[in-house]
Structure 1
Amino acid sequence: MSHIDPTVPPSLQADVTLVGGGMSGAVLALALAALRRPDGTPLQIVLLEASAPEQGPHPGFDARAIALAAGSCEALARHGIWPRLAPHASPITQIHVSDRGHPGQTRLTAAEYGLPALGQVIELSAAGQALQEAIAQTANIRMLCPVQLTAVIPGEQAVDLVLASQQSISTRLLVAADGGHSFVRQALKIPVRRHDYGQSAVIATVKTAEDPAGRAFERFTRGGPLALLPMQQGLSSLVWSLPGDEAEAVMALDDQGFLDQLQQAFGWRLGRFLRTGVRHCYPLALTAADYPLGQRTVLVGNAAHLLHPIAGQGFNLGMRDLDALCAALCHALAQGEDIGGYPVLARYWQCRQGDQEATIWLTSSLARLFSNDLAPLVAGRNLALALMARLPCLKEPLARQTLGFQPPFPARKE
């Protein structure tokens, strides 16, 4: 990893500069680093990150985790990245969906679709360390960390970036992967729409008496969805969406009080909840850029769309974006096109617009539907879950979104 120091020149030239070294930025940097021009030369990539990465192994019981859909894992494998992440991942072989206090429920299993797993769960800290090691070993990625970006100046031939250190970077293509409060997005005045769900997510790593053994759970409670994802060492990653005041009350409980309330909401499918790690809480709101492009600039990851965590769509939607952007730039290089030019970015957005809009609509609709106790909605959603359990063909839309594959979708096994 490179840090800003006197050996770094006052100005740099880059083909692609990525702002934000989290999962989205790091994955895309590695994928783009493998691309070649027709003459065999690689792109010169600069990766800017504001925060120094964590050093040393993260205490697993307090780790935050994300679920990678099977389609995301397949894309990561195609880009040569998955082998670095796989040792830290836990497979999801079954997803159980239920509505607390009501009979409706359904299951998805990997065997139904002839897959070894529906997805994988990975600790963010472990993924981050693996990706940083890969970046440090990639000659055409220059990572500058920690740095602060102070200005973004778009131009016809390049975007100029100014750092707090007064160093500057001129780049043919700028990729903003700097999160939900993206500096780049704000600097370029790219508009977003926002919706406050009136909920907060409580996140923790928990231990249950029964090993989850590949089982994930999405349980809809009165306050909002509760998800448990299987992790290594028999642990589970909890994401529990609650109205803001209830989330505050849950956060104020001692560990045993928290486990008791969680037990009441989730039930006994994994036996007794025995232990919890550190709890985190953050408010839930939709932030989406309807047109995530600027001059020689594209927004990706949470900078483009920050979703409700229901159904675990956030990073998986972003991974499909990264995959498509990489494909668009690969095609542009082969055709001798300007990788930051409007025609290239417009083709990328034409490819991705439908999926982004559909996924944002789906997660927002599910969040409203399964956080509402109106009798007609309760009856309707339970009927839908019951029908999916009895008629497997009705599960395909749920499975399609859960697996996160680009077409063609894997056929269900009879």
Structure 2
Amino acid sequence: MSQSSLVNVDVAIVGGGMSGAVLALSLAALRGADGEPLRVLLLEASAPELNAHPGFDARAIALSAGTCEALARHGIWPRFAPHCAPITHIHVSDKGHAGQTHLTAAEYGLPALGQVIELSAAGITLQQGMAQCPHIRVCCPAQLADIEPLEEGVRLRLASGEHYQTRLLVAADGGNSTVRQHFKLPVTRHDYGQSAIIATVKTAEDPAGRAFERFTEGGPLALLPMQEGLSSLVWSVQRDQADALMALDEQAFLAQLQQAFGWRLGRFLQTGVRHVYPLALAATDYPLAQRTVLVGNAAHLLHPIAGQGFNLGMRDLDLLTQALARALAAGEDIGSFEVLNGYWRQRRDDQAHTIWLTSSLAQLFSNGHGPLVAGRNLALSLMGRLGCLKAPLANQTLGFVSQTTR
């Protein structure tokens, strides 16, 4: 291979879903000590049609207040804002039991606890942003054929025959990360034996900013408020029950949903296309390799309970961007072990705590054992009465998590 056929970039991101695209835009705004912008390469395997893109499908996600602040810091929030619906109230309950608690934006002095955005809308605005940025080179569809770590960089070969060399490689390619597999990074896995049914639903009553987390016999059921009076449903059920629910016609499905959720938003009137996803934990024990870092779902694929998935990933992107900005200002090598390990020291406690929290909640609230049911309902009741007990849940939900360096 001739040197003329090798394209040099500063950062190569594998994966063009939410995490990869947000990171690309965040990094493209950085400048080195010489004032030159970072050259960012984004490699995405899927064709650009958003309706078929696995990273921008029919789901909607909740962006915590902390995530919205981070997006604003990196200049991305103005792109998302027109497509978002605010969450002003969160109601948490356990089906068939009295325990419940509430979170409201007013009690925390916030305009909203978070925002809900459809992934398809997010995908469109992120792709528009990258297309308008001269420092981002998007290759899509692009199949990564080989990764060759070198002392001075990482060399990438695409199936098309193109060759790139980057100072830093970032894996944002999801729970089945090819980059993670290439480096054989150890992963902690757990199958919850559940699947999540995802759909947009219409209720008789407008959710008007209200989000719900309802714990049922089969798993948690969440409704997130969307624009135009709709709600996004994330219903976690046992895997065999998911197959049965997916086989029902619309009216029969809505009847089952009504029975599980109750009548807090009146009658369920309509559902859009239903999708089903198996639920499992996949957490990388140490998300670093030679000049390489894993972020988002490539580093930690979580249960959707409490809506922590992308919000945890956004804290990865935020802290990584800040770490690289400091390194650039100091004239340091952005792909060096010192820079990446410093980033990981800031992230590991938050990642470990969030993984533990979501796994614990998923198992606690999917268990019908009598003492556990009594204990969790007592906890919900006390949180509803004592603000000091609710604070840890609120801090995690809001995404205001302190970062420590050790």
After TM superposition, is the score higher than 0.5? yes
Checking the alignment, whether the CA contact within 8 Å between 1:66 and 1:124 is kept in structure 2 is yes
Letter in 2 for 1:357: A
Rounded Cα–Cα distance in structure 2 between residues aligned with 1:241 and 1:292: 28
Match of 2:310 in 1: 315
Match of 1:276 in 2: 271
Letter in 1 for 2:169: L
Q: Secondary structure at 1:367's aligned position in 2?
A: helix
Instruction: Identify the match of residue 223 of structure 2 among 217, 228, 232.
Output: 228
Match of 1:201 in 2: 196
Matches within 5 A, 1:104-123: 104-123=99-118
Q: Secondary structure at 1:21's aligned position in 2?
A: coil
Rounded Cα–Cα distance in structure 1 between residues aligned with 2:274 and 2:245: 10
Q: Secondary structure at 2:190's aligned position in 1?
A: strand
Which deviations, in whole Å up to 9, do the C-alpha atoms of 1:28-49 show, x marking residues without a partner? 0000011111221111110111
Please tell me whether residue 124 in structure 1 is matched to residue 126 in structure 2: no
Rounded Cα–Cα distance in structure 2 between residues aligned with 1:63 and 1:335: 43
Q: Secondary structure at 1:407's aligned position in 2?
A: coil
Compute the displacement of 1:155 (Å).
Answer: 1.0
Compute the displacement of 1:180 (Å).
Answer: 0.6
Compute the displacement of 1:10 (Å).
Answer: 4.0
Letter in 2 for 1:15: D
Match of 2:237 in 1: 242
Please tell me whether residue 20 in structure 1 is matched to residue 15 in structure 2: yes
Match of 1:326 in 2: 321
Instruction: Identify the match of residue 210 of structure 1 among 200, 205, 212.
Output: 205
* Stretches of structure 1 lacking an aligned partner (at least 5 in a row): 1-8, 409-414
Q: Secondary structure at 2:341's aligned position in 1?
A: helix
Q: Secondary structure at 1:84's aligned position in 2?
A: helix
Match of 1:400 in 2: 395
Match of 2:24 in 1: 29
* Stretches of structure 2 lacking an aligned partner (at least 5 in a row): none
The normalised TM-score by structure 2 is 0.96
- How many residue pairs get aligned? The number is 397
Structure 1 170/373 Cα, relative in aligned 2: closer, same or farther at 3 Å? same
Compute the displacement of 1:57 (Å).
Answer: 12
Instruction: Identify the match of residue 64 of structure 1 among 49, 53, 59.
Output: 59
Instruction: Identify the match of residue 80 of structure 2 among 85, 91, 95.
Output: 85
Checking the alignment, whether the CA contact within 8 Å between 1:57 and 1:126 is kept in structure 2 is no
Letter in 1 for 2:156: L
Rounded Cα–Cα distance in structure 1 between residues aligned with 2:131 and 2:278: 34
Rounded Cα–Cα distance in structure 1 between residues aligned with 2:139 and 2:360: 40
Please tell me whether residue 100 in structure 1 is matched to residue 86 in structure 2: no
Rounded Cα–Cα distance in structure 2 between residues aligned with 1:281 and 1:336: 47
Match of 2:386 in 1: 391
The normalised TM-score by structure 1 is 0.94
Rounded Cα–Cα distance in structure 1 between residues aligned with 2:196 and 2:267: 22
Match of 2:166 in 1: 171
Match of 2:44 in 1: 49
After TM superposition, where is structure 1 displaced by more than 4 Å over at least 4 residues in a row? 55-58
Structure 1 362/335 Cα, relative in aligned 2: closer, same or farther at 3 Å? same
Letter in 2 for 1:211: D
Match of 1:180 in 2: 175
Q: Which moved more, 1:147-156 or 1:206-215?
A: 147-156
Checking the alignment, whether the CA contact within 8 Å between 1:32 and 1:43 is kept in structure 2 is yes
Structure 1 51/10 Cα, relative in aligned 2: closer, same or farther at 3 Å? farther
Rounded Cα–Cα distance in structure 1 between residues aligned with 2:48 and 2:314: 21
Match of 1:3 in 2: none
Match of 1:359 in 2: 354
Q: Secondary structure at 1:101's aligned position in 2?
A: coil
Rounded Cα–Cα distance in structure 2 between residues aligned with 1:262 and 1:176: 37
Rounded Cα–Cα distance in structure 2 between residues aligned with 1:86 and 1:202: 26
Match of 1:75 in 2: 70
Q: Secondary structure at 1:139's aligned position in 2?
A: coil
Identical amino acids, percent of aligned pairs: 74
Match of 2:148 in 1: 153
Letter in 2 for 1:266: F
Match of 1:189 in 2: 184
Compute the displacement of 1:52 (Å).
Answer: 2.1
Match of 1:341 in 2: 336
Q: Secondary structure at 2:258's aligned position in 1?
A: helix
Rounded Cα–Cα distance in structure 2 between residues aligned with 1:300 and 1:392: 33
Rounded Cα–Cα distance in structure 1 between residues aligned with 2:252 and 2:51: 32
Rounded Cα–Cα distance in structure 1 between residues aligned with 2:219 and 2:18: 26
Letter in 2 for 1:110: A
Match of 1:38 in 2: 33
Compute the displacement of 1:55 (Å).
Answer: 5.6
Instruction: Identify the match of residue 130 of structure 2 among 131, 135, 153.
Output: 135
Match of 1:265 in 2: 260
